[in-house]
Structure formats: structure tokens, C-alpha cells
Amino acid sequence: MTCCVNNINKYVNDLKNKAFFFDMDGILFDSMPYHAEAWEEMAALHGLNFTAMDCYIQEGRTGQDVISHCLREKEHREPTDEEVWALYHEKTERFRAKGPVLPVAGVQQVLDYLHGAGAQIWVVTGSGQDSLLKHLNDTFGLLFARERMITAYDVEHGKPSPEPYLKAWEKSGLGKEQCFVIENAPLGVRAGKAAGLTVYAVNTGPLSDEMLYAEQADRVFHTMAQLLEYLTQDDNNTKK
């Protein structure tokens, strides 16, 4: 028994020197279906050749970046800033009209476990809503702090650039081997790996696991319960 107690204590101490960088859409909030619906509605209204799958494949970019990227790739033209902002505004309004989004199943338990063990909990998102912090803390309890958030307002280049995750790593004060990215989207995985960090993907959407492995995800889980089970094992990477 003594040995087990010692092991647990060692683990708790270890997690105090770790940081977990949580993506938001599709990881903290089950918001991607609403984003995809709003995206399709906006595209249909403007006769754009965009599909829900574009929304998932391009997930991770800022909203404006997704629109600019898709107009170039699918409509073969360079958009104006005004057009991008108008489409972004409309998509955002349609997203908001769909009502409150719920947490991803099981993520509260992951957050509570890491928080209880003293790990740093961060949000690294391309979203830039002013009300984001309040919404996070209203939903998950007071686990999030503005100084541990990297949003669209904090970076020059959003995902898949490594900049958002590099910024979180720099602010964490920890080594790269002590920082772990939790992502659901291929471009988010790409950003985390380009920053030189370990990336655990939780595939909560319709894309294949292969798309996440193709971006060099270190592990791919299907549920938050699987991630939690992995994090609480004795022999995984978080206990280096």
C-alpha cells in the first residue's frame, strides 16, 4: 500500500510541472455541428460552393481565414476584406442563433482531474469572442484564467501556424516536453506539432483518424473517457 501511495504522490507532483493546452471547438465545446450548419447556411445564401466538410477540414483556422481560404480554393478568386468580414459576421450570427453549446462529453472529468493534480490548464483557440472567458468559467467552473488563454486577439497568425501554441508554451514557463496539446482537428494537430509539442488528438468529428495521424498526432482517442484513462495510467508520456 505504501508503494502505491508514494506512486500517486509522485504522479501528482509530476503533473504540477505540466501544462495542457486545450483547443476549444470540438474539444471543450461540442460546437462543431452548429458551426458546420451555420457555415452551410451562409454559403447557400450567397451561392458559394462550400460544404460542411470544408468546415471540418479547415477547422482550426480563424473564421476569417477559413472564408478567405475557401474563396481562393473553391471560388478561385481573391476576396476583399469587406467580403470576408460580411460573410464571417453572417456565419457568426447564424451560429449564435442556434443557442448554447454543450461541453464535449467527459471533458469536465479530464479538466477536473488535471486541475486537481495541479497541472496548468490553458485554452488555445482561433476564436475571438469577448465573452469567451465568462462562458468557459460559467460552463466548467473557475478553471480558466485570462492569462492562460491564447485567442485570435493574441496572435498574428492563427493555426495551422505554430504561433498560438508557441505563445502558450513561452508563457507556461515550462519545457516543451512538459506541454501537451489536446486537439480534434487536423490543422490544429499540425499547429501543435509544428510548435514541437506532444499532441493528443480526440477525434470528436466526422473526419478519419488517418487525417489526424497524417499530421503526426502522437495519439488519437475517440472519447474524452479514453483520454482520461490514458492520462491516469502509470506509464504514459505525461510522467516523464
- Positions touching Ca ion (CB under 5 A) are 23, 25-26, 184-185
As measured in angstroms, the least distance from the Cβ of 98 to Ca ion is 17
Of 21 and 169, the one with the shorter C-beta distance to Ca ion is 21
Which lies closer to Ca ion via its Cβ, residue 127 or residue 178?
Answer: 127
Q: Are 68 and 79 in contact (CB under 8 A)?
A: yes
Q: Alpha-carbon Rg of the chain, whole angstroms?
A: 18
Write down the least CB distance from residue 225 to Ca ion, Å: 19
Q: Considering the complex, what minimum distance in angstroms separates the CB of residue 82 from Ca ion?
A: 27
Place of cell 469587406: 82
Nearer to Ca ion, 117 or 201 (CB): 201
What DSSP string describes 185-237?
SHHHHHHHHHTT-EEEEE--SSS-HHHHHHTT-SEEESSHHHHHHHHTSSSSG
Nearer to Ca ion, 15 or 212 (CB): 212
CA 42/CA 94 separation, integer angstroms: 8
Shortest distance in whole angstroms from residue 197 CB to Ca ion: 16
Q: How far apart are CA 231 and CA 117, in angstroms?
A: 11
- Three cell numbers at 66? 477559413
Q: Which is nearer to Ca ion, 12 or 214 (CB)?
A: 214
CB of 34 to Ca ion, least distance (A): 13
Q: E strand or H helix at 239, and its extent?
A: none
Residue 22 CB, nearest approach to Ca ion (Å):
10
Furthest-apart CA pair in the chain: how many Å? 67
Q: Is 117 or 182 the residue whose CB approaches Ca ion more closely?
A: 182
The CB-nearest residue to Ca ion is: 26
Q: Between vectors from CA 23 to CA 19 and to CA 29, what angle results, nearest 5°?
A: 125
